[in-house]
Amino acid sequence: MRPTGLALAFLALMPVAAGASDYRYDTSYSVALGILPIARMTFQTEVISDRYTISGQFHSSGLVDIVREVAAKSTVTGTLAGGRMLPRRYALDYTSGKRASTYEVLFSGGNVVETRVKPERRKPSSWVPVAPADLKAVLDPIGALLIPGDADVCGQTLPVYDGESRMDLVLSPNRSERFSAGKAKGEAIVCSVRYVPKSGYRKGRKDIEYLQSVAGMEIWFAKTATLKLYAPVYAKIPTRYGTVHVTAEKFDG
């Protein structure tokens, strides 16, 4: 089973920077289910003039591989304008065991203009189709969590489309916390997160229903030193199998 778009969104927890000169940044994250490490993530961010490319790799580890090996490679390209990230292309190569899938989404002006999925997935009768209106003014799963430095971080809704599912991540203010990620230390803004599925999912799917009803989901945002963007340094995601913790091991604070 492919992970939900929410899970894919949390693959994107990295800072980005840009300026007149070229820029590259490499980082990594740990993912744990409770106290058990289950995955590693690495990311590369590159900016040339006003164009950016962010590439990420996810690979399961430890006990997860005993059941099924899971790996994913994700890339988004776009332009930076007014401190905001405007995607042009988002792609995901996802492998679970022997099953492989690819997703490609093309954007123009913040709207989705084309989606390509291989192999095509058969939709059950309970499938909620993605309507054309759902693909207007949306964000890719990577850029969605990189917030302009002048924004009200926890006072907004993030509209996300991952090539199959369309969802809203509704942020609300919670508290502030001290964080430490490698050499970076500082204060993070903690947002509570509410997951709202819009379309592109099967009605009655238990993990979707659980995420929709569960409390306690959080994202911690800290401002990067380079472009003064807010980026996540920690995420807590309750699941049916326990709480998943995504922790930055290095952060451009």
Distance CA 186, CA 90 (A): 31
* 155 DSSP assignment: S
Q: What is the pLDDT of residues 115-124, one digit of tens each?
A: 999 998 889 9
Q: What is the pLDDT of residue 40?
A: 84
What confidence tier does 19 reach under pLDDT thresholds 50, 70, 90?
very low
Domain residue spans of the chain:
5-248
| Spatial CA neighbour of 169 closest among 152, 150, 155, 151 | 155
**Alpha-carbon dihedral of residues 1, 235, 240, 207, nearest 10 degrees?**
-40
- Residues 6 or more apart from 243 whose CB is under 8 A from it? 33, 34, 216, 236, 237
Q: What is the pLDDT of residues 167-200, one digit of tens each?
A: 999 999 999 999 998 888 899 999 999 999 999 9
What is the number of other CB atoms lying within 10 angstroms of the CB of residue 33? 18
Q: What is the pLDDT of residue 142?
A: 87
What confidence tier does 36 reach under pLDDT thresholds 50, 70, 90?
confident
| Spatial CA neighbour of 233 closest among 196, 197, 184 | 184
Q: Residue 165 pLDDT > 90, yes or no?
A: yes
Q: What is the pTM of this model?
A: 0.85
